[in-house]
């Protein structure tokens, strides 16, 4: 009886480790990507897309493997937990939602996330921030924030991301070759 009890304690301790301490566990919970409601009314065109693992699976079933573009897309979404996109286009200058961006950034805790690219172009008045989550072996999250004078985009991809596969989309969905460190 004592053995069973100690065995259960072991299981509980293991589960607690997985839930609370394991680095990958944090990626199981989705990042809270704001809907940027303040931009919706001002935008001339907007896309708010949230696809969880279930919907990705459903969508994947409609990808035709015989078509190269669909086959590549199918390959990319394998192992993904979610894709969230917030994209807004404007006819004129818009107020950058700094508070929501700050709230989003606050969720990207080190060492699980690190900023791979942070650029500011004075000439284009644009900012590009790219964060990669995970460890050195496997990217588990990708977050891109693009701020331009007439466009604002946030893309968040969670799951086992194969950057090489994303590169492989080049020429199919217009994805360029990324400088991937291997």
Partner 1 sequence: MSGDLEGDLRRALRPVEPSAEFTDRLLARVAAAGRATTRPRRTWLRPAAVAAGIVLAFGLSWGTYQHQLQERAFRAHAELLKALAITSRSLDQAYQVVHSSEVDRADGG
> Which residue, 2 or 61, has its beta carbon nearer to partner 1?
61
Residue 106, both tokens: 């606050």
> Which residue, 6 or 45, has its beta carbon nearer to partner 1?
45
**What's the CA dihedral at 61, 66, 70, 73 to 10 degrees?**
80
CA atoms 71, 175, 180, 116: torsion sign:
negative
**What's the CA dihedral at 147, 94, 153, 58 to 10 degrees?**
180
> Which residue, 31 or 51, has its beta carbon nearer to partner 1?
51
> Which residue, 15 or 47, has its beta carbon nearer to partner 1?
47
Q: How far is the CB of 15 from partner 1 (least distance, A)?
A: 32
Three-state SS string over 141-176 comes to EEEEEEEECCEEEEEEEEEEECHHHHHHCCCCCCCC
Q: How far is the CB of 43 from partner 1 (least distance, A)?
A: 14
Q: How far is the CB of 13 from partner 1 (least distance, A)?
A: 39
For the purposes of burial, counting CB atoms within 10 Å of the CB of 146, is it exposed (0-12), middle (13-18) or buried (19 or more)? middle
Q: How far is the CB of 121 from partner 1 (least distance, A)?
A: 6
> Which residues are near partner 1 by CB under 8 A?
47, 49, 51, 55-56, 58-63, 73, 76-77, 83, 85, 87, 117, 119, 121, 126, 128, 130, 144, 146, 148, 153, 155, 157, 166, 169, 173-179
């Amino acid at each position: 009886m004592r053995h069973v009890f100690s065995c259960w304690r072991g299981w509980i301790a293991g589960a607690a480790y997985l839930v609370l301490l394991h680095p990958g566990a944090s990626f199981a919970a989705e990042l809270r990507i704001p809907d940027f409601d303040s931009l919706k009314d001002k935008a001339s065109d907007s896309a708010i897309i949230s696809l969880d693992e279930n919907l990705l699976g459903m969508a994947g079933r409609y990808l035709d493997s015989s078509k190269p573009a669909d086959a590549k897309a199918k390959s990319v979404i394998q192992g993904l937990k979610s894709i969230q996109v917030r994209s807004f286009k404007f006819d004129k200058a818009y107020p950058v939602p700094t508070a929501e961006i700050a709230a989003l950034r606050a969720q990207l805790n080190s060492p699980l996330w690190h900023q791979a690219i942070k650029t500011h172009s004075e000439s284009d008045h644009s900012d590009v921030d790219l964060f990669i989550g995970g460890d050195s072996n496997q990217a588990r999250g990708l977050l891109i924030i693009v701020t331009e004078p007439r466009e604002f985009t946030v893309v968040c991809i969670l799951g086992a991301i194969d950057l090489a596969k994303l590169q492989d989309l080049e020429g199919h969905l217009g994805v360029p070759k990324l400088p991937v460190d291997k």
